[in-house]
A and B are shown apart, each in its own frame.
Chain A
Amino acid sequence: QAQLVQSGAEVKKPGASVKVSCKASGYTFSSHAIHWVRQAPGQSLEWMGWSNAGNGNTEYSQKFQGRVTITRDTSASTAYMELSGLRFEDTAVYYCVRGGGDPWGQGTLVTVSS
């Protein structure tokens, strides 16, 4: 069945960038969108943006515009989310999600610490 597997936890310093990967299997990667959602500790879910995995078009939440970049490599069935200018408040679990709302990746914890 469809599955998304994300890269491992990261620890970054303020001002740095982080790039999280999301490898898809069990379905035709280019036929579905990939969304990115984050969840700060004890908080609700926050949508960051999405990519049309077929043509690479993207749309970002205004909150992250200019700091987030979503890309994909169709040959590797993998999507990527890069967040730059990291702040302490970017500490969160980052999820990739297939368009339609399922499945979700297992999540990647990004910790921003000096």
Chain B
Amino acid sequence: DVVMSQTPLSLSVTPGQPASISCKSSQSLMQSDGKTYLYWYLQKPGQPPQLLIYEVSNRFSGVPDRFSGSGSGTDFTLKISRVEAEDVGVYYCMHSVPMWTFGQGTTVEIK
């Protein structure tokens, strides 16, 4: 089974500053159809996760353009260009083939 590992596990960021979260998989996530099914979610306190990024780098509908995803193979990154107070919560990466596998989560707080 694929194992997803996120670093760091927690992050304290000054508003307006950038933030970056890494997600590494135990094997390549590239599928035979040429796609890579790597997703990023944000879970705000007391809420279900909300989809930010799908297939590595595609922002989901309504997601601010300060969020961006990149990577390939086994190494992926979520970047927030300028962190805002509303971005606090736990960020998860997820792979969806053949089963859904989540990273441990990265807690982002505001300094």
**CB–CB B99/A101 < 8 A:** no
Q: How large is the interface on A (under 10, 10 to 19, 20 to 34, 35 or more residues)?
A: 10 to 19
In contact, A45 and B102 (Cβ under 8 angstroms): yes
- B101 interfacial contact with A, CB 8 Å: yes
* Stretch in B19-27, B48-56, B76-84 touching the partner: B48-56
Chain A residue numbers with a CB within 8 Å of B98 are 59
CB contact under 8 A between A47 and B103, given known A101-B39, A105-B48, A106-B48: no
Nearest-neighbour CB distance to chain B for A28, whole angstroms, equals 18
Total CB contacts across the A-B interface at under 8 A? 38
Contacts of B102 in A (CB 8 A): 44-47
Interface of A is mostly: loop
Contact call A101/B104, Cβ cutoff below 8 A: no
From A35, A44, A61, A95, contact of B48 by CB (8 A): A95
A20 to B46 alpha-carbon distance, docked (Å): 19
Q: A37-B100, A44-B105 are in contact. Are A101 and B92 (CB under 8 A)?
A: no
Instruction: Answer whether residue A102 sits at the interface, using C-beta atoms and an 8 A cutoff.
Output: yes
Contact between B101 and A47, CB atoms less than 8 A apart = yes
Which residue from chain A places its CB closest to the CB of B46 in the assembled complex? A107
Instruction: Verify if A80 is at the interface (C-beta below 8 Å from B).
Output: no
What 10 pairs between A and B have smallest CB-CB spacing? Answer: A47-B100, A104-B48, A102-B51, A45-B102, A101-B51, A44-B105, A44-B104, A44-B102, A101-B39, A107-B48
